[in-house]
Chains A and B, each alone.
Chain A
Amino acid sequence: MSGFSALKRRTVSWIVAGLGASVAAGLSLGLAVMAASQPAPLKIVGAGEEVDTGRWRVAATGAGFKPADAKAAGYLDRQNLLFVRLRFTNLSAASSNAYVSVASLDLPADGLEAPTYLLARDGAMVFDLHPDMPEDVVAAWKWPEGRAVPQTLRVTFAGQLYKRRDNLYGAPGWFPADPAAAVDLPVKTVAAQ
């Protein structure tokens, strides 16, 4: 008889524990679905306004189009270039080249190659950007011959999120998050030099 009551008690415990876990899992799923169904409206900032994307503080100060110069010595100068001037500050604790995934162009049927990043002050290629050392850079996209150049350009800044422990290894790292903001920039055509 006592064996039966112990079994009954254990069964009740299992059911209660199972119900608790189910409620927790259901609640988590419900909240995730709710958050996904009501995305927060994308924040639109002005030119030059700084945005905190988590890992980077970034501002887009201008955009332009530079037609190809067939006689130029440099490879990039011989291409049509759509460019955006950006100012990055690395807010993380280590040098990184992850700035390349921050700014993206919001263009219909975008089939452009990844941009080249150049330092604004001396035109050198950008490698890592270091913590707390703000840099002005130019992101240049090769623009296909004959494709109409947009009058205005929307640049979206991707967010990045720090996890002290990721879900796979329990290692610290930065992970993609929702877009932090977007900026609309007029595109000014500059003369090829």
Chain B
Amino acid sequence: MSILKPAAALVLAVLALAVMQRTAPGYADITRPITVSGKLGERLTGRQFDIRVESVRLGRDLVYEAYGRRQTLTTNGVWALLEVSAEATTESVSIIAASWRAPNGARYVASKRPSTYPGMLSLQRLEPGLPKRGFILFELPRDQLAGGTVLIARTEFAPLDTEFAFHMDGIDTLPLQGELVLTADD
């Protein structure tokens, strides 16, 4: 009888510790960004900038001109080219983090390959009152287009800062161009 009580207390303590260990939120949960959700074409406002995904184009090869040379980038998936407009709210800011959250849960970080093309959004600085347009480019497997979400934040690690989530409904029905030409005007 006397041993039952401490044994039960021990079992309870072990159980309580196990539950605490399993349910304690991790560092990534505690510091996760605050999501602002919307759809393609919708303007969303966050702490430091607001942004709208204007259009999406899909292609097999990406073609652009930089420093007078024509460059062609190939992929073994497809290129998804987003044209966005963005504006800083209170102070100058650069947006360097964008990723595609695929339906299988994987995150495809925006491609840094056309690093010499000045129209990429990550190379621009946004100023309050001066809206700017820029490109975000993803390299994706064809089967991860439908049901994807574009996540945009100021930096890759943005604890408790705004993260925009644009649901890309209907993107898989867009035509797949052979050559996707990177120009701001079409």
A interface residue numbers (CB < 8 A to B): 93-95, 119, 121-122, 124-125, 127-128, 130-135, 164-165, 169-172
Give a binary string over B55-81; 1 marks a CB under 8 Å from any A CB, 0 the rest.
Answer: 000000000000000001110110000
Which residue of chain A lies nearest to B30 when distances are taken between CB atoms in the complex? A170
Check A133/B74 contact, CB under 8 A, given A127-B112, A164-B26, A170-B26: no
Check A172/B26 contact, CB under 8 A, given A122-B74, A133-B77, A135-B76: yes
Which residue of chain B lies nearest to A122 when distances are taken between CB atoms in the complex? B74
Any A CB within 8 A of the CB of B107: yes
Minimum distance in angstroms from A13 CB to a CB of chain B: 10
Give a binary string over B100-116; 1 marks a CB under 8 Å from any A CB, 0 the rest.
Answer: 00101111110111010
Any A CB within 8 A of the CB of B141: yes
How many CB-defined contacts (below 8 Å) exist between A and B? 60
A93 to B141, CA, bound (A): 14
The answer to whether A171 touches B108 (Cβ under 8 A) is no
The 3 A-B pairs at the shortest CB distance, nearest first, are namely A95-B109, A171-B27, A131-B106
Any A CB within 8 A of the CB of B99: yes
**Contacting A95 at CB < 8 Å: which of B28, B73, B108?**
B108
Known contacts A93-B105, A95-B99, A122-B72; 14 additional CB pairs below 8 A are A94-B99, A94-B107, A94-B109, A121-B74, A121-B76, A122-B73, A122-B74, A124-B73, A124-B74, A128-B109, A131-B102, A133-B76, A165-B27, A171-B27
The answer to whether A132 touches B109 (Cβ under 8 A) is no
A122 to B73, CA, bound (A): 8
Which secondary structure dominates where chain A touches chain B?
loop
Q: Which residues of B contact A95 (CB under 8 A)?
A: 99, 107-109
Q: Which residues of B contact A133 (CB under 8 A)?
A: 76-77, 139, 141
Minimum distance in angstroms from A89 CB to a CB of chain B: 11
Q: Which residues of B contact A119 (CB under 8 A)?
A: 74
Minimum distance in angstroms from B180 CB to a CB of chain A: 15
Q: Which residues of A contact B104 (CB under 8 A)?
A: 132
Q: Which residues of B contact A93 (CB under 8 A)?
A: 105-107
Check A127/B111 contact, CB under 8 A, given A122-B73, A133-B77: yes
Check A131/B108 contact, CB under 8 A, given A121-B76, A122-B73, A124-B73: yes
Check A124/B113 contact, CB under 8 A, given A93-B106, A131-B108, A132-B141: yes
Which residue of chain A lies nearest to B138 when distances are taken between CB atoms in the complex? A130
**Contacting B108 at CB < 8 Å: which of A127, A130, A170?**
A130
